[in-house]
């Protein structure tokens, strides 16, 4: 006998609930119990997956690329076998490897990044993809520094430090396309030779035989020296003498080049020996005092090369302009 569903009133043949109402009802659980049930279900699913996957995958974790780089591994082996003081830099400019000779040559270094290397060695390193070399003075050691880029997609570079004597370092760091600083001085002296002859002034050079340093900014060096020579020739009387020279020196355990222009013209007054190098200083050729011209250009060049410029007269008979600069790789 047909009847109706107690829930919705629909006609049914048997029972008290229609098929639509006769479904299991979900039991609402408190939040913590629901979470535990979900975690339990996830655990059971993971267990099933573990059982099905015979070869479970290893977890994905970050690891250094260099640990699997054949290039860096091979180069490190070569450096160890060669017994040289060297550092391998990664493309991120961090230190990846350093030979034991680094510490035996320079003492214990705390090297983690390229900045640490630059600070300890006193050298500025730019693009790691460009080869370079320079003469350094580290802990009283004359060192020939070379940067060799890592090719083949590895990136980074190898920094090699070789202890040599001063003369060998100067010879090996010469770059064929750049003139020596001594050649620059000779060129400047020759430029003013005719003018000196007209005024009956002798212009000479005083250059060490073993000085082979070069400057990338050799044209700017020539301009700065030309200002000093021109200044001397305009103040030295007929029959006078101008000497242009250079010396290799060290200051605070770093190499430097000391250029000088000496003449027997009038001295620069004490009160002007600093201000004549200021950009706003005005030259007065009609003055009875020596005031110079364009000397601020000399100071600008010196400052740009981590140096300085000054004028002095220890004997009271000769006036000497000094320009001190750091050579390439020592700034």
Using one digit for the tens of pLDDT, what is the confidence trace for 7-40? 666 777 766 667 776 665 554 445 545 455 455 5
pLDDT for residue 324 is more than 70: yes
Q: State the Cα–Cα distance between residues 251 and 318, nearest whole angstrom.
A: 25
Quote the tokens at residue 114: 């390229």
User: In which band, very low, low, confident or very high, does the pLDDT at 156 lie, cut at 50, 70 and 90?
Assistant: confident
pLDDT for residue 325 is more than 60: yes
More confident residue, 107 or 299: 299
Calculate mean pLDDT across residues 41-61: 44
pLDDT at residue 101 in the model: 83
User: In which band, very low, low, confident or very high, does the pLDDT at 70 lie, cut at 50, 70 and 90?
Assistant: low
pLDDT at residue 59 in the model: 39
60-69, 124-133, 158-167, 285-294: least confident range:
60-69
pLDDT at residue 55 in the model: 39
Burial of 45 per CB tally in 10 Å (0-12, 13-18, 19+): exposed
136-140, 240-244, 309-313: least confident range:
136-140
How wide is the angle at C-alpha 170 spanned by C-alphas 168 and 175, nearest 5°?
Answer: 120
Q: H or E segment at 121?
A: helix 114-121
pLDDT at residue 47 in the model: 47
pLDDT at residue 209 in the model: 85
| Residue ranges of domains in the chain, CATH in brackets | 3-52 (no CATH), 67-172 (3.30.450.20), 181-325 (3.30.565.10)
Calculate mean pLDDT across residues 222-234: 94
Q: What's the whole-model pTM score?
A: 0.51
Quote the tokens at residue 261: 């222009």
Checking 190-197 for CB contacts under 8 A at 24+ apart, the result is 191/226, 192/226, 192/229, 192/230, 192/233, 195/233, 196/233, 196/242
Nearest CA among 158, 163, 162 for reference residue 97: 158
Q: H or E segment at 142?
A: strand 141-149
Calculate mean pLDDT across residues 157-174: 74
pLDDT for residue 72 is more than 80: no
More confident residue, 174 or 205: 205
Q: Could you read off the pLDDT of 80-120 as tens digits, one per residue?
A: 777 888 888 888 888 888 888 887 766 777 788 888 888 88
pLDDT for residue 307 is more than 80: yes
pLDDT for residue 51 is more than 70: no
Calculate mean pLDDT across residues 173-181: 75
pLDDT at residue 108 in the model: 73
User: In which band, very low, low, confident or very high, does the pLDDT at 290 lie, cut at 50, 70 and 90?
Assistant: confident
pLDDT for residue 61 is more than 50: no
pLDDT at residue 193 in the model: 94
Selection from 60-74, 124-138, 268-282 with the highest mean pLDDT: 268-282
DSSP 19-69: TTT-SPPPPP--HHHHHHHHHHHHHHHHHHHHHH-SSPPPP-----GGGG-
Selection from 124-138, 142-156, 206-220, 279-293 with the highest mean pLDDT: 206-220
pLDDT at residue 23 in the model: 61
**Three-state secondary structure string covering 167-233:** HHHHHHCCCCCCCEHHHHHHHHHHHCHHHHHHCCCEEEEECCCCCCCECCCHHHHHHHHHHHHHHHH
Percent of the chain with pLDDT over 90: 26
Average pLDDT for the chain: 77
CB 136 within 8 A of CB 330: yes
Quote the tokens at residue 10: 């629909």
């Amino acid at each position: 006998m047909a009847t109706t569903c107690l829930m919705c009133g629909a006609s049914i043949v048997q029972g008290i609930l229609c098929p639509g109402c006769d479904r299991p009802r979900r039991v609402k659980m408190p939040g913590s119990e629901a979470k535990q049930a979900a975690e339990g279900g996830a655990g059971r699913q993971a267990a099933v997956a573990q059982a099905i996957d015979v070869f479970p995958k290893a977890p994905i974790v970050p690891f250094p690329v260099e640990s699997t780089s054949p290039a860096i591994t091979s180069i490190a082996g070569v450096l160890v076998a060669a017994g040289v003081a060297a550092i391998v830099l990664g493309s991120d400019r961090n230190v990846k490897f350093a030979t034991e000779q680094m510490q035996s040559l320079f003492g214990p270094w705390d090297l983690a990044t390229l900045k640490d290397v630059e600070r300890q060695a006193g050298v500025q390193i730019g693009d790691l993809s460009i080869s370079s070399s320079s003469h350094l003075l580290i802990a009283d050691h004359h060192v020939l520094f070379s940067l060799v880029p890592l090719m083949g997609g590895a990136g980074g570079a190898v920094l090699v430090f070789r202890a040599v004597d001063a003369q060998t370092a100067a010879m090996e760091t010469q770059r064929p396309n750049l003139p020596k600083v001594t050649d620059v001085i000779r060129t400047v002296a020759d430029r003013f030779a005719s003018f000196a002859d007209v005024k009956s002034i002798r212009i000479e050079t005083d250059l060490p035989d073993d000085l082979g340093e070069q400057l990338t900014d050799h044209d700017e060096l020539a301009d700065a020296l030309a200002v000093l020579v021109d200044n001397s020739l305009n103040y030295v009387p007929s029959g006078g003498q101008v000497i242009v020279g250079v010396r290799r020196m060290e200051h605070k355990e770093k190499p430097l080049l000391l250029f000088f222009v000496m003449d027997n013209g009038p001295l620069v007054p004490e009160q002007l020996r600093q201000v004549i190098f200021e950009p706003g200083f005005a030259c007065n050729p009609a003055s009875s005092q020596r005031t110079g011209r364009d000397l601020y250009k000399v100071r600008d060049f010196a400052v740009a090369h981590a140096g300085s410029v000054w004028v002095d007269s220890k004997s009271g008979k000769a006036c000497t302009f000094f320009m001190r600069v750091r050579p390439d790789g020592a700034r």
